[in-house]
């Protein structure tokens, strides 16, 4: 009986220990400031090694800081709970759209003083800096990259369909024609769109912007516009008349990348810098990849929707940790944009471990700085730059638009329904759909105000 | 009913022996059973067999000719890759850890609670029993949000339980069904044994540990089976309280994995994840099925 | 208050209380322990766990439904505002319709089929174990695995698994999850596949428990197979049938996994169920979680289900003899 009691006690102790070790770890007391930084989920071992190498370089240069990694992907819904539960890493990245809301609600650390001391603080492109600033102009979150939307296409499928991969479509009509040809000749989906998880609205807004329209006018929702109808009519034509969009329509950002990388989609619209994800996380064959700009309508309002990534610090971080966090952000994300040594070091590590170097981005500061960086890392560039030339040679001339400011994600969610309905119901009543979407979007904007 | 009648009666159900002798009944029964067996085999075995096949087939073959049998040969590398690179082993261990802890907590709560209510019978026993029974009628949806907030900010404990296994183990114990099962079982145990034990000088602890528990193996088995199965199936709750990928069990991790793992490796991961429950089922079939039917009998 | 022996059992035993055993009585043999420390010790785990993770949260749900919480600041009392917001949400009506549709379809597929199968299986002489094992196998497969696997089966292209198999019979490729009209039946099909086995086993156990003498008596009166089925088998099963019916309703009303993993409520909210809506209120709101609305909707759903159950039991008490 005593032995069984001991066994029971031991079991309890073991379970407790197991439970507690799964708890937040107490920081070891070695005099260093400990910070946790975010690392993307699902990376290949090479990418993880590259990241760890950079951490070592940072710790060498800053012996009083220790860096641990935490796999973390920012999701809107669980963020507040994780904040309350204290399980956020100290440094994490958020998209531009969500940054503004976080700053408004004070849900990230106010590092305005620390960022003001950064040497390049004034060099930011004002549009891009605004994404991370509070109303007083203090920078709470540091923009670390920016991109513009583009049209990704599969060169191999183009060739198989008899199209010239070096002459991608330059108008929406050409896109539609190319999609029809691809699906006829190869049986794969010629054109695909994201539809789920707010990405449907995001891409629809992108296309509407490229046609010269907007989804809000700064204060109210403007869903039912000629450009919106044109975008939807195009989709309907491709889906039901040409049958060039394949058979599956429930795509979000990750799954459409996956499908494209496995060669089952001819063209799709997404952020211009996707090559990284396609290559590292979805095993894209580089020879398949092509990138071109979105066709812009002949209208002064037509523009390319831009986006980007902010790096933020958890409000749970103490002052010393915030300081260390900003140093890390500066080292890992920013230095390679301004300092030659850092850019080369970063490119070198990435190239050695087979990570993509030179994927297209938009300048965070100004074009001149961006071009300079490109020359520094020229020898390490391992992405097929020629195949991306249609994009890189034209995107800088396209007007860059910011995402809508009010209730962005909620309006996207409303538009998700519109896109999904158009793609899954053959005789969708577009008038009714748009009327409903207008009402819902306006309600969302009102609720967020 | 004489003895002969009994023995043949126990052998029969709806169809009488005379019914079975009639050719129309016999053949239609055989046909129906054959058809049923075919349907069960296809419906029950089919998907799992396909999964096994697809787990050892390269992605392109699965996509292009899903029903063909290994056109390009086996691909065991999928399974190896799922286990190592995709780290199914880690999530597997998490699943087991969660199941073990949930099982322990459930057993502890139900056995001690059922014992107290059925054998020790405290003064407020009926009230407590009623309060426990009442939770059976509250749909679990009600608990979702407040339980989540409780995990974030537990009473008395300083830190949140988010990203700890306790957030899954402890709420699992609040199963009124288990308590009722145990309570009924204990209440049906013969009182004479308790009396005899008491006369021998056993106190309540001794009685529990040395008398009641050993006699309760069947019900412990049933509750254990339910507990482990429920834990293995749990999806929403672990997804909410274990956002850290290192702690997630298979059920939470697999849908996320699909985003960045090739199809063939993913299918291998699915196959591995289902192997253990199926193997357990095949080995412990009798306990599973008796538990499943007992559950029905108790509910009825 | 009875004197309590606080020394651990096994050390002193109950030497001090020999007379209690001889006393006749209404109370249990360990009467002295009522309200005593050992009882408390045994009750403690259950009371703590239920208190913290069942009773308190239920109370908290009621409180939260009248508050606005954002986890950082203190909750604010807003009266019925959460309920009004829920009722004003157009998605609520969609969710109610979809959930009802799912429940009805699930009943149509999942209620009679297991019964038929169980009745057939109860007449199997040999290999009944094989039948049972095959029927129960889908229940053992982890639900997430089952859904992800079926998601693949439901691929809408010509080379999707189901489309290929149906193609052998000349039936055209179906859009399954991409088609607004058949997406819900597709979900119900998988859900039924995964759950029917459990119901079959329950029915089978009940069927084998039917007293054969009832059948014998009926045969003496000249009853054929169908009459026996209708007048004996089914009435004998009445209790279990009624219980599985209500349990199925309560279960399908709270369906979450299938809509979430298959289609995330789509396409165009055609598979948005009440649980999924509650989840969205609480955990996908980019403003940080509308826990008050989620609690309010959970309570509403729970009240409806409870009212339904009570009504159901009242009605069926008059039907079932026992």
pLDDT band, residue B294 (cuts 50/70/90): low
pLDDT of residue C154: 93
At A276-313, the pLDDT tens digits run 888 887 888 999 999 999 999 999 999 999 989 999 99
Lowest mean pLDDT: which of A27-41, A144-158, B108-122? A27-41
Whether the pLDDT of residue B13 is over 90: the answer is: no
Q: How far is CA A154 from CA A71, A168, A388, B152, in A?
A: 31, 10, 11, 46
Whether the pLDDT of residue C234 is over 70: the answer is: yes
Please determine, for the modelled complex, whether the ipTM score is greater than 0.90.
Answer: no
On whether residue C309 sits in a domain, the answer given is: yes
Q: How far is CA A180 from CA A161, A183, A186, A258, A275, in A?
A: 10, 5, 10, 22, 25
Residues C102, C162, single domain; the answer is yes
| Cβ-Cβ contacts under 8 Å, A254 against chain B | 259-260
Element spanning A269, H or E: strand A265-271
Burial of C154 (0-12, 13-18, 19+ CB in 10 A): buried
Distance from CA of B140 to the nearest CA of A (A): 21
pLDDT of residue C24: 46
Whether the pLDDT of residue B299 is over 80: the answer is: no
Residues C164, C216, single domain; the answer is yes
Domain count, chain C: 2
Answer for the pair C131, C124: CB distance below 8 angstroms, yes or no: yes
Nearest CA in chain B to A254: B259
**Omega prior to A396 cis, within 30 of 0:** no
Distance from CA of C233 to the nearest CA of B (A): 7
pLDDT of residue C9: 40
Facing residue for C14 by CB, picked from B63, B110, B198? B198
In chain A, which residues fall in CATH 3.40.190.10? 31-146+307-380, 149-305+394-448
CB-side neighbour CA atoms (13 Å) of A237: 13
For the record, the structure tokens of A413 come out as 């969610």
Cβ of A22 within 8 Å of Cβ of B247? The answer is yes
Facing residue for A258 by CB, picked from B153, B245, B259? B259
Q: E strands within A155-256?
A: 189-192
Facing residue for B15 by CB, picked from C46, C123, C282? C123
Whether the pLDDT of residue A274 is over 80: the answer is: yes
pLDDT of residue C35: 57
Q: Which residue has the higher pLDDT, C146 or C74?
A: C146
pLDDT of residue B296: 47
Whether the pLDDT of residue B3 is over 60: the answer is: no
Residues C112, C193, single domain; the answer is yes
Q: Between the ranges A177-181, A393-397, A409-413, B162-166, where is the mean pLDDT highest?
A: A177-181
Alpha-carbon distance of A290 to A304, in angstroms, equals 18
Q: What is the mean pLDDT of chain A?
A: 86
At A41-81, the pLDDT tens digits run 767 777 788 888 889 989 999 999 999 988 887 776 677 77
pLDDT of residue C11: 41
Residues C44, C189, single domain; the answer is no
Lowest mean pLDDT: which of A341-355, B61-75, B79-93, B140-154? B61-75
Indicate the CATH number of A149-305+394-448 among 3.40.190.10, 2.60.120.10, 3.50.50.60, 1.10.1200.10: 3.40.190.10
B171 touches chain C (CB under 8 A): yes
Whether the pLDDT of residue A207 is over 90: the answer is: yes
Would you tell me the crossing angle of helices C90-110 and C112-122 to the nearest 10 degrees? 20
Distance from CA of B55 to the nearest CA of C (A): 11
Distance from CA of C56 to the nearest CA of A (A): 20
Domains of chain B: 86-257 (1.10.3720.10)
pLDDT of residue B9: 44
Residues C112, C151, single domain; the answer is yes
Lowest mean pLDDT: which of A327-331, A402-406, C70-74? C70-74
Q: How many CB atoms lie within 10 A of CB B88?
A: 25
- Check whether domain A31-146+307-380 has CATH 3.40.190.10, yes or no: yes
Element spanning A93, H or E: strand A91-95
A19 touches chain B (CB under 8 A): yes
Answer for the pair B163, B242: CB distance below 8 angstroms, yes or no: yes
Residues C145, C27, single domain; the answer is no
Top residue of C45, C151, C152, C267 to mutate, by most chain A CBs within 10 Å, is C267
Q: Domain of C208: which CATH number?
A: 1.10.3720.10
pLDDT of residue B222: 83
Q: Which residue has the higher pLDDT, B156 or A295?
A: A295
Whether the pLDDT of residue B191 is over 60: the answer is: yes
Top residue of A424, A426, A445 to mutate, by most chain C CBs within 10 Å, is A424
Q: Which of B212, B175, C157 is nearest to A188 (CA)?
A: C157
Q: Between the ranges A283-287, B80-84, B229-233, C47-51, where is the mean pLDDT highest?
A: C47-51
| Cβ-Cβ contacts under 8 Å, C54 against chain B | 135, 143, 174, 176
Residues C203, C230, single domain; the answer is yes
Whether the pLDDT of residue C315 is over 90: the answer is: no
For the record, the structure tokens of C220 come out as 């003496």
Residues C184, C110, single domain; the answer is yes
Distance from CA of C322 to the nearest CA of A (A): 44
C289 touches chain A (CB under 8 A): yes
At A81-107, the pLDDT tens digits run 777 777 789 999 988 888 877 887 788
Alpha-carbon distance of A104 to A133, in angstroms, equals 10
Percent of chain C with pLDDT over 90: 39
**Backbone angle region of C269, left / alpha / beta, with phi > 0 → left and psi within -120 to 50 → alpha:** left
Whether the pLDDT of residue C236 is over 50: the answer is: yes
On whether residue C72 sits in a domain, the answer given is: no
- The pTM (predicted TM-score) of the whole model is 0.84
Average pLDDT of span A349-353: 82
Whether the pLDDT of residue C185 is over 60: the answer is: yes
Q: Could you tell me how far CA A314 lies from the centroid of its own chain? A: 20
Burial A56-86 (b: 16+ CB within 10 A, else e): ebbeeebeebbbeebebbbebbbbbbbbbbe
At C10-54, the pLDDT tens digits run 343 344 444 444 444 445 545 544 557 888 889 999 999 999 999
Residues C93, C46, single domain; the answer is no
A205 touches chain C (CB under 8 A): no
Q: Which of C107, C280, C35 is nearest to A410 (CA)?
A: C280
pLDDT of residue A202: 93
Residues C157, C297, single domain; the answer is yes
At A397-448, the pLDDT tens digits run 888 888 887 788 889 989 999 999 999 988 889 999 999 999 999 988 887 7
| Cβ-Cβ contacts under 8 Å, B85 against chain A | 45
| Cβ-Cβ contacts under 8 Å, A246 against chain C | 157
Structural domain of residue C50, as residue ranges?
18-65
Q: Which residue has the tokens 């991370």?
A: A132
Contacts (Cβ under 8 Å, ≥6 apart) of A21: none
At B29-61, the pLDDT tens digits run 889 999 999 999 999 999 999 999 888 888 878
Cβ of A85 within 8 Å of Cβ of B162? The answer is yes
Residues C257, C293, single domain; the answer is yes
pLDDT of residue C17: 41
Answer for the pair A36, A89: CB distance below 8 angstroms, yes or no: yes
Whether the pLDDT of residue A12 is over 60: the answer is: no
Alpha-helix runs per DSSP H in chain C: 18-22, 37-50, 56-64, 81-88, 90-110, 112-122, 128-140, 143-153, 161-168, 183-208, 212-220, 225-228, 234-253, 257-258, 274-283, 291-319
How far is the first Cα of chain B from the last one, in angstroms, to the nearest whole number? 28
Residues C61, C85, single domain; the answer is no
Answer for the pair A294, A151: CB distance below 8 angstroms, yes or no: yes
All chains having 3 or more CB pairs closer than 8 angstroms to chain B: A, C
């Amino acid at each position: 009986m005593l032995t069984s009691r001991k066994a029971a006690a031991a079991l309890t102790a073991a379970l407790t220990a197991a439970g507690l070790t799964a708890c937040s770890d107490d920081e070891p007391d070695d005099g260093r400031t400990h910070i946790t930084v975010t690392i993307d989920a699902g990376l290949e071992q090479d990418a993880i090694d590259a990241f760890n190498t950079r951490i070592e370089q940072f710790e060498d240069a800053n012996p009083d800081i220790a860096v641990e990694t935490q796999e973390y992907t920012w999701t809107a819904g669980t963020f507040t709970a994780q904040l309350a539960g204290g399980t956020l890493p100290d440094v994490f990245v958020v998209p531009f759209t969500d940054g503004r809301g976080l700053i408004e609600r004070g849900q990230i650390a106010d590092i305005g003083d620390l960022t003001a001391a950064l040497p390049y603080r004034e060099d930011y492109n004002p549009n891009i800096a605004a994404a991370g600033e509070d109303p007083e102009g203090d920078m709470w979150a540091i923009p670390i990259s920016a991109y513009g939307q583009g049209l990704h296409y599969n060169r191999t499928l183009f060739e198989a369909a008899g199209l010239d991969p070096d002459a991608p479509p330059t108008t929406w009509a050409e896109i539609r024609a190319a999609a029809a040809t691809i699906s006829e000749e190869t049986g794969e989906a010629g054109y695909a769109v994201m539809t789920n998880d707010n990405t449907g609205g995001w891409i629809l807004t992108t296309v509407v912007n490229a046609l010269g329209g907007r989804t809000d006018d700064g204060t109210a929702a403007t869903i039912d516009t000629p450009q919106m109808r044109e975008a939807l009519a195009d989709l309907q034509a491709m889906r039901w008349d040409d049958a060039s969009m394949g058979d599956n329509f429930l795509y979000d950002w990750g799954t459409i990348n996956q499908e494209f990388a496995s060669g089952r989609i001819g063209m799709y619209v997404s952020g211009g810098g996707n090559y990284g994800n396609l290559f590292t996380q979805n095993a894209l064959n580089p020879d398949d990849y092509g990138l071109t700009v979105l066709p812009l309508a002949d209208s002064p309002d037509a523009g390319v929707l831009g986006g980007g990534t902010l790096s933020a610090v958890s409000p749970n971080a103490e002052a010393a940790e915030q300081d260390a966090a900003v140093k890390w952000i500066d080292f890992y994300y920013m230095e390679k944009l301004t300092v030659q040594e850092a850019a080369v070091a970063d490119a070198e590590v990435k190239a050695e471990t087979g990570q993509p170097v030179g994927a297209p981005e938009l300048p965070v500061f100004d074009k001149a700085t961006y071009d300079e960086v490109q020359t520094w890392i020229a020898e390490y560039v391992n992405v097929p730059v020629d195949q991306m030339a249609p994009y890189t040679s034209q995107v800088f001339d396209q007007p860059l638009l910011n995402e809508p400011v009010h209730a962005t994600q909620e309006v996207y969610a409303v538009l998700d329904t519109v896109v999904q309905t158009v793609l899954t119901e053959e005789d969708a009543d577009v008038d009714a759909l748009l009327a409903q979407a207008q009402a819902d979007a306006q309600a969302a904007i009102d609720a967020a105000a | 009913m004489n003895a002969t009648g009994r023995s043949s009666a126990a052998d029969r159900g709806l169809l009488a022996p005379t019914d079975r002798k009639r050719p129309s009944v016999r053949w239609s029964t055989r046909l129906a059973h054959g058809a049923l067996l075919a349907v069960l085999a296809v419906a029950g075995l089919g998907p799992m067999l396909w999964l096994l096949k697809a787990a050892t087939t390269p992605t392109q073959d699965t996509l292009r000719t899903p029903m063909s049998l290994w056109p390009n040969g086996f691909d065991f590398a999928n399974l190896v890759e799922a286990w190592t690179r995709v780290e199914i082993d880690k999530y597997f261990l998490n699943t087991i850890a969660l199941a073990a802890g949930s099982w322990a907590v459930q057993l502890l709560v139900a056995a001690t609670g059922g014992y107290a209510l059925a054998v020790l019978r405290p003064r407020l026993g009926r009230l407590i029993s009623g309060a426990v029974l009442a939770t059976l009628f509250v749909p679990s949806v009600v608990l979702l949000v407040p339980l989540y907030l409780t995990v974030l900010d537990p009473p008395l404990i300083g830190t949140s339980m988010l990203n700890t296994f306790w957030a899954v183990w402890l709420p699992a114990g609040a199963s009124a069904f288990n308590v009722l099962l145990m309570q009924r079982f204990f209440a049906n145990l013969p009182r004479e044994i308790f009396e005899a034990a008491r006369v021998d000088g056993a106190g309540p602890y001794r009685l529990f540990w040395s008398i009641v528990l050993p006699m309760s193996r069947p019900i412990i088995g049933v509750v254990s089976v339910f507990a482990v199965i429920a834990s293995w199936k749990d999806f929403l709750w672990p997804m909410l309280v274990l956002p850290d990928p290192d702690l997630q069990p298979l059920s939470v991790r697999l849908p996320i994995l699909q985003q960045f793992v090739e199809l063939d490796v993913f299918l291998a991961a699915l196959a591995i994840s289902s192997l253990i429950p199926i193997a357990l089922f095949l080995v412990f079939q009798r306990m599973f099925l008796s538990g499943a039917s007992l559950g029905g009998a108790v509910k009825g | 208050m009875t004197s309590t022996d606080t020394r651990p059992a096994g050390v002193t035993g109950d030497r001090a209380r020999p007379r209690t055993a001889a006393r006749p009585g209404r109370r249990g043999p360990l009467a002295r322990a009522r309200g005593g420390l050992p009882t408390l010790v045994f009750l403690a785990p259950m009371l703590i766990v239920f208190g913290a993770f069942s009773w308190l949260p239920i109370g908290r749900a009621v409180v939260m439904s009248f508050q606005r919480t954002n986890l950082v600041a203190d909750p604010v009392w807003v009266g019925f505002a959460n309920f009004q917001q829920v009722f004003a949400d157009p998605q609520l009506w969609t969710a109610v319709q979809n959930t009802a549709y799912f429940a009805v379809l699930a009943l149509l597929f999942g209620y009679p089929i297991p019964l038929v199968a169980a009745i057939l299986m109860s007449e199997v002489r040999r290999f009944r174990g094989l039948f049972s094992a095959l029927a129960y196998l889908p229940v053992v497969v982890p639900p997430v695995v089952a859904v992800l696997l079926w998601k693949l089966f439901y691929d809408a292209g010509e080379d999707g698994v189901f489309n290929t198999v149906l193609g052998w019979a000349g039936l055209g490729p179906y859009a399954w999850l991409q088609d607004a009209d058949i997406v819900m039946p597709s979900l119900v099909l998988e859900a039924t596949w995964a759950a029917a086995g459990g119901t079959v086993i329950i029915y089978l156990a009940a069927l084998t428990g039917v007293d054969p003498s009832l059948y014998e008596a009926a045969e003496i009166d000249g009853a054929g197979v169908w009459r026996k089925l209708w007048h004996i088998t089914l009435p004998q099963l009445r209790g279990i049938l009624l219980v599985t019916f209500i349990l199925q309703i309560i279960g399908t009303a709270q369906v979450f996994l299938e809509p979430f993993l298959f289609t995330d409520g789509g396409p165009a909210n055609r598979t948005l169920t009440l649980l999924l809506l509650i989840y969205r209120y609480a955990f996908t709101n980019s403003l940080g979680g509308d826990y008050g609305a989620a609690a309010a909707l959970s309570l509403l759903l729970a009240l409806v289900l409870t009212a339904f159950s009570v009504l159901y039991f009242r009605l069926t008490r008059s039907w079932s003899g026992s």
